[in-house]
A and B are shown apart, each in its own frame.
Chain A
Amino acid sequence: MSYLFDYLSSLFSSKPRLTPAELQAAFRSHYKEFRALLTANNNALELMAEMEQVVSAGHSFGMSFIRGHCTALSVNIFKMVQHLNKLSDGKYARLDETFRDVAMKLEQVIANRPVTTEGALILSMGEIDVSMVDQVGEKMANLGEVKNRIGLRTPEGFVITAVASLSFIKANDLQVEINRRLKGLDLNNLEELYTVSAGIQGLISSAPLPAALEELILYHHHQLVTGPDSCELLVALRSSAIGEDSSNVSFAGQYRTQLNVSREVVGQAYKEIVAGKYKSQATVYRKQRGFRDQDVHMCVGCLLMVDAVVSGVMYTRGPDDPRSNFVLILAAPGLASNVVDGSAATEQFKVSRTSPHGILESGFGANHVGSEGASSPSTLTVMQAAELAEVGVRLEGHFGVPQDVEWSIDRAGLLYILQSRPLGDTKKEVLPPRRDSSATDDLPAPLLAGGVCASSGVGYGQVFKVRTTLDLLRFPMGAVLVVETPYPDWASLLDRAAAVISETGQVAAHLATVAREFGIPAIFGLKQAMTILENESHITVDATAGKVYSDEVEALMMLAPPKPNLMVGSPVHKTLLAALEYITPLNLTDPTSPYFRPDACQTLHDITRFCHEKAMVQMFTFGERYGFDDKAAKQLVVDAPSQWWVIDLDNGFTPDFDPESRYVQLDHIASVPMLAIWEGMMAFPWEGPPPVSLGGFGAIIFQSTRNTNIDPAVRSVLTAKNYFLVSKNFCNLSVRLGYHFAMVEAYLSDMRTESYVSFNFKGGAADDRRKVARIQLLVDILGHFGFRVERKGDSMTARVEKRSVQYLTERLKILGYLSVHTRQIDMVMDNHDSICHYKEKFSTEINALLGIQKMA
């Protein structure tokens, strides 16, 4: 920022003069470009900040967010480059080329991947392994691996590939219509979501299959029933979306599976499973997990039905503890779907991971409705449990991570693996912190207790019982979802729910898997929940302890862990990170460096920085280039320390001001932002430099000799001139007080899109620790008053934009106050008491300045 002072001195050198009218016209033209550049600069910085914020905040966003922001950013930076070249008479034409180069790279990052419609329409299970995930989806690729590489038994079958579903959609020209219906869909409007979702599914289900595809499906179906298991006539059609079942992203139960499908309806069942991509909960889930619609392709596995006697789910480690030394098996008579849809009574087995895989523990879960005291027959024999555990450990060994396995045992006692996917690893993120017993000693008596912890954590909200689709549409944001059965269909409510309670179900239910992923506390199998809990009553759900309390229990809520960032690792998240590589890194940090030039800009942030710096230089060298009148800078006549000079850019002085005068009274200042800053500066007398101990002062002198950022000329002039550049609505104040530099800049307009206040602060003479402490103090205070603050080492920037003139005027008063009162306090920022003292003092005085009773 030292250029300001270098160039301000040149304002007053003798140059050929323009007539006053010419000068004013030239200046107005420059000022117009300058102002437009600043507006574009503000917009660009705001867009960058929004993009960085979504990366870290974990809010869901889609490709439209990325495309929209990258486009808006490019447009604003294009404008900056144009304005800068107008200000500098084309001096930086090279910048245009640099900008186009960066913008082109950015476009490549966010461009849609071409979707291929070439390749096999159908692949037999015998020819599939994990390398074919882009053709058959993750579920079927994993199953092929289980069959062909691990050598375990899986149902015979084939997969209708992604190429087939794309061909089907393309043959009916459905994608344009689907995109049109999805465009602008508000996922928070549940009624709209369900209507659009049902409409798209209807569109797909009613479209005819291409004849070649239909024939091929029937041919493979025929091959199956005449194959080794010719007695079987029914098949199961299972969705296997690309992107489904990867670690940390389960899509559990979000898509469709159809069981017992006969030859006559296999084509229709296939279309319905393809249509299942647009089920409402799947649409919401994709958005929340950062999957782009066009990246998810529906492959469908067509597998012979297993005539199951007993089925279930197996976790090769405890879902709550990835280091546990047992395999957890949940088993129920019949099909595996009874277990994962949460409707069946399941028996739970903990089986040793080591041979001979003995049963460590077993028992029926909360769903079991046997007669009191009666012992139920076991669903699995000791041998079967041991076989399952052995298979589980093999699967984990092969895939390298704990697995979540669906299985069935048929009438012949043969074990079939139906699915094996990574056991979600979000659990470690959502595990509650260690319970401090003192925090929970004085808890009230619970309303309800029991069930199983399907997803740990603590949540608070009003009770909302869901029985029907109509209830589902009315589900309020932040409520506790209370249901009888944990159907996967309720998953679309999980981003709105504070917690889930179900009267039935257990940890293997799909809804439990999704709840764990989303970090939503859930208790399943909590009997009488639907009866005892009343709609609209407020409750605290401690899922970890399996207890429900009336009202908010603060001691428990303090233990609630933050929600996991579900977007991390998703395709959209990765795309945004890749795009940000061309956007946010700032390589041009030193304007005095020989590398501060257009061809050194590597990112849009570099170009923004370059344009802003050079535009400032253009404005401040206006006098040098056009023969600025040496009387332009007027000394402010005030009873205040330091010298203050004001340069009127455009209507910054009142009309009755004498332009020949070398001095200006405060009464003649018409600049609204300058007056606000001044009010803040003068509201409380500056008490002078804080007293510093001899040791502290010695350290500061030592630092001042070492700190290369401190300009020697400035170091010797502690009372340097300070300049206000003003117009009626604009003010740029550069303050160099002692060893620190502060710049306040503002444009106040009734047009919110143009209005902003920015503040830069850097330097100090103390050592880094104390300078950083002062910066932190500023960050805390400005953050509290609504500034968006960015801090780097001992410098910081704070911005606030697009707010009312009154709001921004108040912020300027705060900045005026801080510009004066933070000078030299870095010298005493060496202990906690001192920091607290200044924080309290500044807060109190700013509140008084703004007429606020008390800082929250």
Chain B
Amino acid sequence: MEKKYRVLIVDDEADFREIMAKRFNRRNIEAVAADGCEMALEKLKACEFDVVIMDVSMPPGLDGIQCLAKVKELWPKTEVIILTGHASVSSGIEGMKGGAFDYCLKPIDVDDLFEKVALAWEKVQISRS
């Protein structure tokens, strides 16, 4: 069956990204995992994703906010959902200002995350139409 859309999950916690990728795949959504910003950018250079889910504090190298800027530079219509366990008001605002679709906190209810991804996909479709 053809996948509905493509999601890239960027997180340095292996368990989290692998489990999430499996859950997306079970919902017929193609999901690819990356362990950090560099791997994510490599994958994004190879092809476009519809939605990117990204942790903002992934040591080492680029942090999520910088990575967000790179993603938007490569694919302006790709929507990025920032997901973090280290919340701060300023990073939340920075993320939104940098063009994130949403800024969510870990732990997150998986169904809520799926809904946010679906909304982001809705926006991607509108912006591409």
Chain A positions within 8 Å of B, measured between CB atoms, are: 32, 64, 67-68, 70-72, 74-75, 78-79, 82, 100, 103-104, 106-107, 110, 183-184, 751-754
Contacts and interface: CB of A to CB of B under 8 A. Distances in A.
Contacts of A754: 115, 119
A110 B111 contact: no
Contact of A751 (B92, B104, B105, B119): B119
B87 A106 contact: no
A753 B115 contact: yes
Contacts of A104: 90
Contacts of A68: 87, 105
A186 to B, nearest CB: 10
Given A75-B102, A753-B116, A107 B107 contact: no
B85 interface: yes
A90 B87 CA distance: 29
A293 to B, nearest CB: 15
Contacts of A753: 112, 115-116, 119
B85 A72 contact: no
17 contacts: A70-B89, A71-B89, A71-B91, A72-B92, A72-B103, A74-B89, A75-B93, A75-B102, A75-B103, A100-B93, A103-B90, A106-B89, A110-B89, A751-B119, A753-B112, A753-B115, A754-B115
B115 A71 contact: no
Contacts of A183: 85
Sorted nearest first, the 9 A-B pairs with minimum C-beta distance are: A71-B87, A107-B89, A71-B92, A751-B115, A75-B92, A75-B103, A74-B89, A68-B105, A78-B96
Nearest to A71: B87
A70 B97 CA distance: 17
Interface string B113-128: 0011011000000100
A86 B85 CA distance: 31
Nearest to B103: A75
B19 to A, nearest CB: 14
B89 A103 contact: yes
A98 to B, nearest CB: 13
Contacts of B95: 75
A74 B92 contact: yes
B107 A184 contact: yes
A71 B85 contact: no
Contacts of A110: 89
A71 B85 CA distance: 11
Contacts of B97: 78
A754 B102 CA distance: 14
Interface residues of B, number: 24
Contacts of A107: 88-90
A74 B111 CA distance: 22
A79 B104 CA distance: 13
A831 B107 CA distance: 51
Given A751-B118, A752-B115, A78 B93 contact: yes
A104 B93 CA distance: 10
Nearest to B90: A107
A72 B115 contact: no
Nearest to B106: A184
A100 B97 CA distance: 11
A67 B116 contact: no
Which of A67, A75, A753 has the most CB atoms of chain B within a 10 A radius of its CB?
Answer: A75
Given A67-B88, A184-B85, A75 B118 contact: no
A752 B112 CA distance: 8
A752 B116 CA distance: 10
A78 B107 contact: no
Nearest to A183: B85
Which of B92, B103, B106 has the most CB atoms of chain A within a 10 A radius of its CB?
Answer: B92
A749 B119 CA distance: 12
Given A71-B88, A75-B102, A754-B119, 10 more contacts: A64-B87, A68-B87, A70-B87, A72-B104, A72-B105, A74-B92, A78-B93, A104-B90, A106-B89, A110-B89
B79 to A, nearest CB: 13
Contacts of A70: 87, 89
Contacts of B90: 103-104, 107
A752 B103 CA distance: 17
Contacts of B104: 72
B115 A78 contact: no
Contacts of B87: 64, 67-68, 70-72
A754 B97 CA distance: 22
Contacts of A74: 89, 92-93
Contacts of B118: 751
Nearest to A100: B93
B21 to A, nearest CB: 20
Contacts of B91: 71
Nearest to A70: B89
B107 A71 contact: no
Given A184-B85, A753-B112, A71 B96 contact: no
Nearest to B115: A751
A430 to B, nearest CB: 34
B4 to A, nearest CB: 15
B5 to A, nearest CB: 16
Given A751-B119, A753-B116, A79 B92 contact: no
A754 B105 CA distance: 17
A466 B116 CA distance: 46
A752 B111 CA distance: 9
Contacts of B105: 68, 71-72
A470 B122 CA distance: 51
A75 B96 contact: yes
B121 to A, nearest CB: 12
A70 B95 CA distance: 15
Contacts of B88: 67, 71, 107
Contacts of B103: 71-72, 75
Contacts of B107: 184
A79 B89 contact: no
Contacts of A71: 87-89, 91-92, 103, 105
Nearest to B97: A78
A761 to B, nearest CB: 30
A264 to B, nearest CB: 41
Contact of B96 (A67, A79, A752): A79
A50 B38 CA distance: 38
Nearest to B118: A751
Given A68-B87, A71-B87, A751-B119, A78 B112 contact: no
Contacts of B96: 75, 78-79, 82
Contacts of A32: 126
A78 B85 CA distance: 20
Nearest to A66: B87
B90 to A, nearest CB: 6
Contacts of B115: 751-754
A607 to B, nearest CB: 13
Which of B90, B91, B126 has the most CB atoms of chain A within a 10 A radius of its CB?
Answer: B90
Contacts of A106: 89
Nearest to B100: A75
